[in-house]
Structure formats: C-alpha cells, structure tokens
C-alpha cells in the first residue's frame, strides 16, 4: 500500500476530512493526520477530546474490493496494528478490549472509529480513524478515571511520527494478510494474543436484553464469542461488551 500523508495543524475531524478527500477520489493509502481536531468523533456519536499537541489523530482511506460485511473486520486489523506497533517501540503490556479499544493497565489508550461509505450498492471507501493518547500528562475530569496516555503509564515520551509510521507499517502488513481471505483466518491467533477479554467474564449490553458470559475469543468475522450460563454460544456483532472486575472504565 502506498501511503500518502497529508498533515493539518487543525481540522474538524480527520475522519470527516478523509471522507471528503475520498469523495473527491483520493486513493487507498491516503493518510490524514492532524495536530488538533475541533470536532473529534468517537463511537456511538460521542465526542473525542482532541486538544492540540500530545495525541495522535489520524485517518486512513482504504478502498477494499469486498462486500460490506467483510469490511467490518478491518477495525480489528487496525487494533492489532496499534498494539504491535506499541510492542515494537518497547511498550509492552498493551491489550485490546474487543473490538478495538487499546488499553494499558485497564485504562483506554487508543480508540478506533471505522466508517464505511457505499456507492451504487458497493463499498466505495472505508475510513479508519485512530486516536492515540501519547504524551498527555493528565486528562479532563470527565474521562480521567478511564483514559490514559503512554506517558502517564510509562513515563516515556514518544515521538508521534515514529509511532504513526510504526502503526501504519504494521497495518499495511496486516491488511495484505487480511485481503487474502477477507476474514480473520490468518490474524486471529495474533489478535487473541492481545485480547484482554479472552476467558474473562463479560456483560453484553444487547438492546434485546443484557446477559453475562465468558468471552472465548473471536470468530473469523471478528465477532466476539460469548459462552452464556446455559452453555450456548452467542456471536456478538454489535453492542457494547463490558468486562467486570478488570477495567476501571467499564
């Protein structure tokens, strides 16, 4: 994948800018990076605090030739790339909270927002937005109990560009593996190695009714397999999974 990086001092949201560029025909591999976002977006319509300086805000444009249901796994592929990059920089101990939060010492270090756009019934582009807390020394009170940064956890200041390069190169490698099958066949084992929820008790906040069970891992589509108390196994696609007794922010 050829990476073409475009930098902004400030933008509303790198995901929105990437979507605008994609609509204008930008190629796969276009990477939007900003120093600050004025309208940073999280999952489920939440805001993503994006002050200038200490964090990474970036979005990558992809143009996968696949059915939409084969594309959702890409968000797990990026989560895997982020932990692999952190390990490569000597930052061990990061884990993935399914599907795609990166946590360290039970607090959230990175969030990923994947957005898919369709045209004439086909996937036209996929935007994978990544926010990584790198050098922040503290957080606003609303998120202080759940959010953390690499600096807070390790006392190390990391060069953001070095980390961006490491994430993108890990992603490019994972993406070419993913494209062989368009599922998690060849990446599942690596993903499982970092999966914090695995073999832990989880509560699934399903709109049809909450339930609890043991998270066994993911299937090839990237859905979380949860063994319920009656021994049946649910494949959890959407909905929030929270893990009791492990993460402070759940």
Q: Is 167 helix (H, G, I), strand (E, B) or coil?
A: helix
* Part in contact with ligand BTN (CB under 6 A); list of ranges 90-98, 126-134, 161-169, 193-201: 126-134
Exposed/middle/buried for residue 2 (C-beta within 10 Å: 0-12, 13-18, 19+):
exposed
| Phi-psi group of 33: left, alpha or beta (phi > 0 → left; psi -120 to 50 → alpha; rest → beta) | beta
Least distance CB 227 / ligand BTN (angstroms):
26
Q: Does 111 bind ligand BTN (CB under 6 A)?
A: yes
User: By CB under 6 A, how many residues form the interface with ligand BTN?
Assistant: 20
Q: What residues from 50 to 89 belong to the interface with ligand BTN (CB under 6 A)? A: 57-59
Q: How far is the CB of 97 from ligand BTN (least distance, A)?
A: 10
Taken in order 154, 160, 165, 171, is the CA torsion positive or negative? positive
Q: Does 40 bind ligand BTN (CB under 6 A)?
A: yes
Per-position x/- string for 129-168, each x denoting binding to ligand BTN as judged by CB under 6 A, each - no binding: xxx-------------------------------------
Edge to edge, the sheet with strand 107-119 lists 4-11, 30-37, 55-62, 122-133, 107-119, 101-104, 94-97
By the rule CB under 6 A, 192 interacts with ligand BTN: no
Q: Detail the DSSP E strand segments found in 38-188.
A: 55-62, 94-97, 101-104, 107-119, 122-133
If one asks whether residue 30 binds ligand BTN (CB under 6 A), the answer comes out as no
The binding site for ligand BTN (CB under 6 A) comprises: 13-15, 37, 40-43, 46, 48, 57-59, 101, 111-113, 129-131
């Amino acid at each position: 994948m050829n990476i073409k990086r475009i930098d902004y001092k400030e933008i509303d949201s790198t995901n929105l800018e990437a979507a605008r560029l994609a609509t204008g025909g930008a190629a796969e591999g276009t990477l939007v990076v900003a120093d600050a976002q004025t309208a940073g977006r999280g999952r489920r319509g939440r805001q993503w605090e994006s002050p200038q300086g200490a964090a990474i805000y970036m979005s990558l444009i992809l143009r996968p030739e696949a059915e939409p249901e084969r594309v959702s796994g890409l968000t797990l592929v990026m989560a895997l790339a982020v932990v692999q990059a952190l390990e490569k920089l000597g930052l061990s101990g990061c884990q993935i909270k399914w599907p795609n939060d990166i946590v360290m010492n039970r607090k959230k270090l990175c969030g990923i927002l994947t957005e898919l756009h369709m045209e004439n019934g086909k996937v036209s582009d996929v935007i994978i937005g990544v926010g990584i807390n790198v050098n922040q020394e503290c957080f606003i009170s609303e998120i202080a109990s759940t959010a953390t940064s690499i600096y807070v956890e390790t006392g190390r200041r990391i060069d953001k560009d070095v980390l961006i390069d490491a994430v993108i190169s890990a992603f490019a490698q994972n993406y070419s593996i993913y494209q062989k099958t368009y599922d998690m066949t060849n990446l599942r084992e690596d993903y499982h190695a970092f999966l914090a929820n695995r073999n832990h008790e989880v509560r699934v906040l399903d709109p049809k009714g909450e339930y609890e069970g043991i998270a066994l891992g993911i299937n090839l589509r990237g859905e979380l397999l949860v063994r319920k108390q009656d021994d049946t196994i649910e494949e959890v696609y959407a909905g929030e999974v929270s893990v009791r007794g492990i993460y402070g922010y759940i």
